[in-house]
Amino acid sequence: MLTMAGCVPPPLAVLGLLVLLAPHAAWPTVFLPASKAHELLSRWRRAGSYLLEELFEGHLEKECWEEICVYEEAREVFEDDEPTDEFWRTYMGGSPCASQPCLNNGSCQDSIRGYACTCAPGYEGPNCAFAESECHPLRLDGCQHFCYPGPESYTCSCARGHKLGQDRRSCLPHDRCACGTLGPECCQRPQGSQQNLLPFPWQVPNASPSPDAYTRVQPGGSTWPLCGGLAKRQPQLSDHQDWKGQGRGAQVKLTNSEGKDFCGGVLIQDNFVLTTATCSLLYANISVKTRSHFRLHVRGVHVHTRFEADTGHNDVALLDLARPVRCPDAGRPVCTADADFADSVLLPQPGVLGGWTLRGREMVPLRLRVTHVEPAECGRALNATVTTRTSCERGAAAGAVRWVAGGAVVREHRGAWFLTGLLGAAPPERPGPLLLIKVPRYALWLRQVTQQPSRASPRGDRGQGRDGNGAG
């Protein structure tokens, strides 16, 4: 029998034809009547069905544990929203409520990759950690400056030159000498922005401060007014840098009648400069030289009546200027705070030590990043007693240079700079922490003196008992 290449032999062709026709012959035996088919395809109930539970568990293992599944795949397994949601919360984020994050009897509800607290009456915050009537420095939505507890709720107040915003928590600068502020010259535009900085309220006639007119920057999403609108300050501090605005505008030099600079000081109001009592008594005729080289005569000196020249205790004095500093061109005052606010809020934060050092006979400006040192540690390092009226700061080479008395340590808190320390009379040149005068301990004395400037002594005498309180 002849065959051609590529042709299928007749027996194989017949066999292939039979295979194609076989299903048609089997159709009557494959398809069942409708009644029989419903019996075969009916769903078993999950409860009490061991076989289906085994199949169900294997399906979930394959879909969501061996591989990462999506919500819809888990929903197909459970076939109900409630058990699916319960499984999905655990699958995506575990069970955060198991660690009992909600404090003060707050109730916890797990959610996908998180949890939500429902606080008991009288408490608030993400974890119900804050009593509504108490002040909590760490809460980001609390008072921007000062906080006072109350019977039902805390109240807020602001540093000099600021006033409360509409939310009764934020503090907005409302005059040109508002303390602790950074001017537009100290700010920069956000990257990519072509818009100009908005002016401060006092730079626009009949303007009033608005929370929306300021760029607000604070970790955790809470925001505070800084600089002008669209402005952003640089948060990073290096160990050695002459920073713009960070307390620098408040620092001044003291000059004698011959024009010689001899000490430093810090502007706490537009007409008052804080310095050491030792510096204030060196010369009978003193002037103040601002950062813009404005020279202002001192008309009177307030020396703390408990100042002891031998021991250096209470070595503080206020200089009453003959005319106010012209803000902001000649400088900006730094804010002052009381001891409680400083201890709980300011001192734990890094600060900036600014002042002058001696290079030969020349006073050279220097600013360093510093951190607070606990009294016990500082006492051991300096072999000295650290009292409640002194504090210690440590920074790179801070104690190894010849500082001029009257330098200051300032700290930033939510958009404003506060004074926390004053360098005493010529600190010794030695490595280690620096011992400073703790300015917040004299807050009461500062308020009393600045509210009654006519009581100053024109020659810096120490005989006015009415000036000497606020420190023991």
Q: Give the CATH number of the domain where residue 402 resides.
A: 2.40.10.10
Rounded to 5 degrees, φ, ψ at 17 are -65, -40
- Stretch 90-99: mean pLDDT: 73
In a domain, 53, yes or no: no
In a domain, 386, yes or no: yes
In a domain, 305, yes or no: yes
Structure tokens at 345: 């809020």
* Cα gap 441→386, rounded to integer Å: 14
CB 446 within 8 A of CB 460: no
- Are 153 and 229 members of one domain? yes
CB 270 within 8 A of CB 290: no
CB 338 within 8 A of CB 352: no
- Are 124 and 174 members of one domain? no
Other Cβ atoms within 10 Å of 391 Cβ, number: 28
- Are 459 and 428 members of one domain? no
Place of tokens 């360093």: 368
Look at strands 287-289 and 351-359 and give their pairing: unpaired
- Are 182 and 325 members of one domain? no
* Cα gap 433→56, rounded to integer Å: 68
- Are 433 and 453 members of one domain? no
> How far from each other are the two terminal CA atoms of the chain, in whole angstroms?
130
- Are 217 and 265 members of one domain? no
Closest CA to 335 of 420, 275, 414: 420
- Are 170 and 205 members of one domain? yes
CB 309 within 8 A of CB 158: no
CA atoms within 13 A on the CB side of 142: 24
In a domain, 263, yes or no: yes
Within its chain, how far is the Cα of 54 from the centroid? Answer: 55
In a domain, 80, yes or no: no
In a domain, 28, yes or no: no
* Cα gap 307→466, rounded to integer Å: 14
CB 309 within 8 A of CB 336: no
Domain's final residue, options 131, 150, 174: 131
pLDDT in tens, 420-432: 999 987 677 777 8
CATH number reported for the structural domain that contains residue 209 in this entry: 2.10.25.10
* Element at 237 (helix H, strand E): none
Domain's final residue, options 234, 266, 301: 234
* Cα gap 214→225, rounded to integer Å: 5
- Are 343 and 426 members of one domain? yes
- Are 450 and 319 members of one domain? yes
**How many domains does the structure of the chain reveal?**
4
pLDDT at 291: 76
- Are 270 and 317 members of one domain? yes
* Range list of H helices, 46-128: 50-60, 71-78, 81-93
- Are 456 and 327 members of one domain? yes
In a domain, 49, yes or no: no
Q: Contacts by 107-115 with C-beta closer than 8 Å and gap 24+?
A: 112/88
Range of the domain at 425: 339-441
Domain's final residue, options 168, 199, 234: 234
Place of tokens 């194989």: 12
Q: Is the pLDDT of residue 207 over 70?
A: no
Largest CA distance in the chain: 142
pLDDT in tens, 359-402: 888 888 989 999 999 999 998 988 888 999 999 999 877 767 88
In a domain, 77, yes or no: no
pTM of the model: 0.67
| 241 confidence band (pLDDT: 50, 70, 90) | very low
pLDDT at 15: 53
- Are 318 and 451 members of one domain? yes
